[in-house]
Structures are given as C-alpha cells and as structure tokens.
Amino acid sequence: MKKEYRLRSNRDFQYAFKKGRSLGHPLLVLIYRRNNSTLTRVGFSVTKKFGKAVQRNRIKRQLREIVRLQYHHLKQGYDIIFVVRREAKGASYHTLEKAVNNLLKRGNLYK
C-alpha cells in the first residue's frame, strides 16, 4: 500500500477514534470518518495484548495486503482504522479477508 494511503499520525488516529463511526466484528473493529481530502487513508491498530511484535506485525502485513487489493474499490475521502481483536490471533488470511470485506460493506465504503 502506498505511503500516502496510510494513516500514520497520532493526531489523525485520535481524531478518528473521537469523531468516527465504528462497526464491530468478532475479529476486527472498523472505525471510519470523512476527511477533507480526495484520498482514503487506512491505518491499523494492534494492542500489545495481542502478542509479541512478530505476531502483531504479521497481522498488520496481512491486513495491509487485503486493503491494498481492495483499495481501488473504496470510496475516496475517508480515514479508516482497523482495530484488531485478540480473537484474530489464529485467523487465516482468508478469514481476515472476509472480515474486512464484511466491515467495509456494512460501512458503505465501497464505490
């Protein structure tokens, strides 16, 4: 995923958590809000309770790839955050992909 499509700054994360809407799934939580841009930016949050850094980074890489493949189908002008729940620890790539698609559809974030 290109760097300009990533949500990185702490201020942007905090604003999205405060002002955004959220949708839940057993594996992930989706938080989204409109931004004042033509780009949709995506961020990922994994708590330290999830596991060691290797496990946290692996799930972020998987989610980043899932979103990269779906990015051109997303509506533009949103900040999106995926918060990973502990239940996602043993989930396969295919299961994560279904969860992401389900949340994006429910949030009406597809074009």
pLDDT bracket for residue 3 (50, 70, 90): confident
Q: What is the CATH number of the domain that holds 66?
A: 3.30.230.10
State the average pLDDT for the chain: 95
- pLDDT tens-digit series, residues 18-45: 999 999 999 999 999 999 899 999 999 9
Name the 3-class secondary structure at 111: coil
Q: Is the predicted pLDDT of residue 80 greater than 90, yes or no?
A: yes
Residue 55 counted as domain residue: yes
* Residue 111 forms part of a structural domain: no
Q: Any alpha helices (H) in 1-77, and if so which ranges?
A: 10-19, 53-70
Measured CA to CA, the distance from residue 37 to residue 95 in angstroms comes to 31
How far apart are the two ends of the chain, measured CA to CA in Å?
19
Structural domain of residue 43, as residue ranges? Answer: 3-106
- The tally of domains found in the chain comes to 1
Pair of tokens at residue 79:
């900040």
**Residue 1 reports pLDDT greater than 90:** no
Confidence of residue 105 (pLDDT cuts 50, 70, 90): very high
Rounded to two decimals, the pTM is 0.94
In a domain, 52, yes or no: yes
Judge whether 39 lies within some domain: yes
